[in-house]
Structure 1
Amino acid sequence: MKPFVNHIPTKLYFGAGQLGMLGTLPMPGKRALVVITSGKSMRSSGTLDRVVKLLEHNHVSAVVYDKVQANPTREQVMEGAALAKQEQCDFVIGLGGGSPIDASKAIAIMAANPGDYWDYVSGGSGKALPIPNPALPIIAITTTAGTGTEADPWSVVTNGNEKIGFGGEMTFPKISIVDPELMLTVPPQLTAFQGFDAFFHAAECFLANCATPISDLYCLKSVELICKSLPRAVRDGEDLAARTDVALANTLSGMAEATSCCTSEHSLAHAIGGFHPNVPHGAALIMISKAWFKFYALRAPKQFAALAKAAGQSDFLGALDKLQRDCGVDELKMSDYGITREELPAINENAWETMGGLFELDRVKMNREESLSILEESYR
């Protein structure tokens, strides 16, 4: 067995009703920047008001930054960081799905450091400079189950057509609250897209060449829970037991990302999102998944047998197909999102140039021609 390191410094509060803990937990500061998306759901559901009132009860004042898009941009990170500095916020709360929590991590870096966020990002046109100062403390309150970002240090931000994951020890949330009651109103298709994102995080981290015995435990349990309960959560969003299973699977997949890593499937999906920000990340992954996992299947039979067993099937590719059909996402087409076949070579090249490091983590190495063939096979 190879030596490994296991380090997840986030204090996690998991379970129905756990949002209430925000009113009594020791906070890392006295003035919070609360980061949400530009959509209406956090306000219309009353969740934002609840969070602000709980903070007030805990003697913390709040400033809201509400301009984050589904794919957070460098510009939004810099704008949020400027607001945090102006309002003298001493910690950041990401409230919502992966987008605002990812943005909150990047904002926490830039609220405490000079220059531009892309000065520090590695990959693509990022300058990969060392970060001089520690980020502001981060609290993650997730209202969806997809990215696992509440349990890992990674933040995905877009700059032009570069969509790059970046982070480090300073961007682990200090506290994360995972309350499945906050997820009951997520629409069926979005539930499916998010659940598949978590599913692929777990499956990729299990297949990565940096996987450890600990990350394997997280991965296989995540796959098991998603195959068991994601179709139920899609069919009936108010099924709290199913929502709780999927929420736990999501958090476990984040723990897997903190102790192993995603691989080239995510490089390709990020490149699709970089060229077409209208494509939900989970949808991009779903559309290329069958071809990507087929490339792997015969080359890693031991790992695929373990994944199939966790999925409750004899064949993992069959389990993947069944899960997509059961969740109603098996007919997704790239062309429906405006992606053209002629763009595929540029998307493929972008994947290698911006997040090429993930190709290095593939247990089974592929080259540029093979990754392009996966995109071409996936195209409809």
Structure 2
Amino acid sequence: MSFQMYVPTRILFGKGQLGHLHSQQMPGKKALIIISNGKSTKENGYLSETEKQLHLAGIETVVFDEIMANPLKTTVMEGSVCARKNNCDFIVALGGGSVMDASKAIAAMATNDGDLWDYVSGGTGKGKTLSSEPLPIIAITTTAGTGSEVDQYGVISNQETNEKIGFGGYDSLFPTMAIVDAELMKSVPTKFTAYQGFDALFHSVECYISAAANLMSDMYALTAIENVGKYLVRAVKDGNDLEAREHMAFANTLSGVVMTISACTSEHSMEHAMSAYHHQLPHGAGLIMISQAYFTYFIENHACDDRFVRMAQALGMEGANAPMDFIRALVKLQEDCGVSDLKMSDYGIQPNEFMTMAQNARATMGGLFQCDPMPLSDEDCAAIFKKSYR
């Protein structure tokens, strides 16, 4: 029954909401707009419209366009230097999860000395506490995947140490405002719509079976799962289906909130280890690869049978009455979205890495293992990787 909830982000949800940015209260006078190193944000006009809105509000702007998928510590440090050199007093994160995650770390390092890994807990991080408040953040999400627009965490990779670790947890890293406008999501390619949709799904699935689950998180998680089950296939098949895009955006935002009330489980730790060593692996794709074997492990051990039945029903299998119905519903959703045949080997993952990745997952993000509905050993994790491999 017990839970704590604090989500201070003002959420502007709905198509066309970016056009209202200029009328909102701004947290500063000069913004560092952070975008990816790809072309879509510029070519689709999202950057120019954001600049227009900020300029209408009397805000000066500088653009930092270096963020890649699975953002790197080195890029975060470059972004923090850019913010300092240009005297920016707040951040506008315009993009998907990687941009929003990196923006939180940049906001912190723009006002604190040293290296980002000084403030990372887990792995080789030094676990120091931030001494100065991060710059305020406005998050404008262009994808429906991570929910990072409404939480206080970001995941950053350190290529020097093959670590991919969640950074944050400070109340001051919650974005002050989130704009969730499905009009900005219509250009997301088919396969990435699917990858991102499953990332949002697994946030809620994990939080629903988590040892940290509670009445409030259950409400958010099940509603998100229902929306993914009903609308993800439509969004994948027709990116211009605005109704489907809006419902997936809604599921994504709920899946971001649920992580602040409950907690993800070790599936996310395991995938972070995969993409820490194989940087080109999209996070959502990695989660899809291991999901069937991962959740089957808990079902075979009867960790929380009733919860898997309820999630199968939420995904659209109304007559579900057995825990394995969840796996059947999950596999069908993956097949319908065209992502059921993803291969680890296509991204360079080899069987001799399974134990290394299992140990890396626990060393870097061991806290999520404590949220599993039953204990999962390194050997269990390696076995899940093995069963998922092709």
TM over 0.5: yes
- Pick from 330, 335, 342 the counterpart of residue 345 of structure 2: 335
Aligned partner of 2:357 in structure 1 is 347
Secondary structure in structure 1 of the residue aligned to 2:21: helix
Residues 213-244 of structure 1: CA deviation (Å, up to 9, x unaligned): 11111100110000100000000000000000
- CA shift at 1:23, angstroms? 1.2
Provide the TM-score with structure 2 as the length reference.
0.96
Matches within 5 A, 1:1-380: 1=1, 3-160=2-159, 161-168=162-169, 169-297=171-299, 298-313=302-317, 314=320, 315-380=325-390
Q: What is the CA-CA distance between 1:299 and the residue it aligns to? A: 2.1
CA distance in 2, matches of 1:68, 1:14: 25
CA contact under 8 A between 1:147 and 1:194: conserved in structure 2?
A: yes
Alpha-carbon distance, 1:344 to partner? 1.4
Q: Is the 8 A contact 1:300 1:364 kept in 2?
A: no
Query: Shift of residue 346 of structure 1?
Result: 1.0
* Structure 1 letter corresponding to 2:28: G
Give the drift of 1:164: 0.5
Give the CA deviation at 1:306.
1.6
In the aligned structure 1, how far is the partner of 2:136 from the partner of 2:187? 29
Would the aligned equivalents of 1:8 and 1:255 in 2 still touch at CA under 8 Å? Answer: yes
Unaligned runs of 5+ in 2: none
Give deviations 1:186-206, integer Å, cap 9, x for gaps: 110000000000000010011
1:302 positional shift? 1.5
Q: Secondary structure at the match of 1:372?
A: helix
Moved over 6 A (4+): none
Q: Distance in 1 between matches of 2:185 and 2:68?
A: 19
Provide the rounded CA distance (Å) in 1 between the counterparts of 2:100 and 2:31. Answer: 14
SS at match of 1:210: coil
Please tell me whether the aligned partners of residues 303 and 373 of structure 2 are also in contact (alpha carbons under 8 angstroms). Answer: no
Whether the 8 Å contact between 1:222 and 1:249 is mirrored in structure 2 is yes
| 1: CA distance, partners of 2:282 / 2:249 | 19
CA displacement, residues 90-143 of structure 1 (integer Å, 9 cap, x when unaligned):
001110100111111000000111111110010110000111011110110000
Query: CA deviation digits over 1:133-181, x for unaligned, max 9?
Result: 1111011000000000011111000002100012121211000000001
The one-letter amino acid paired with 1:28 is P
How far does the alpha carbon of each residue in 1:311-341 deviate from its partner, in whole angstroms, 9 at most, with x for none? 1211211110111001000000101111111
**d(CA) in 1 for partners of 2:193 and 2:329?**
19
Aligned-partner Cα distance in 1 for 2:24–2:84: 24
Distance in 2 (alpha carbons) for counterparts of 1:312 and 1:323: 10
Q: 2 CA distance for matches of 1:31 and 1:212?
A: 41
Inter-partner Cα distance in structure 2 for 1:367 and 1:51: 47
Residues 66 and 75 in structure 2, CA contact (< 8 A), matched pair in contact too: yes
Q: Percent identity?
A: 51
Structure 2: distance between partners of 1:340 and 1:365: 25
Q: Report the Cα offset of residue 185 of structure 1.
A: 1.1
TM-score for both structures, normalised by structure 1: 0.99
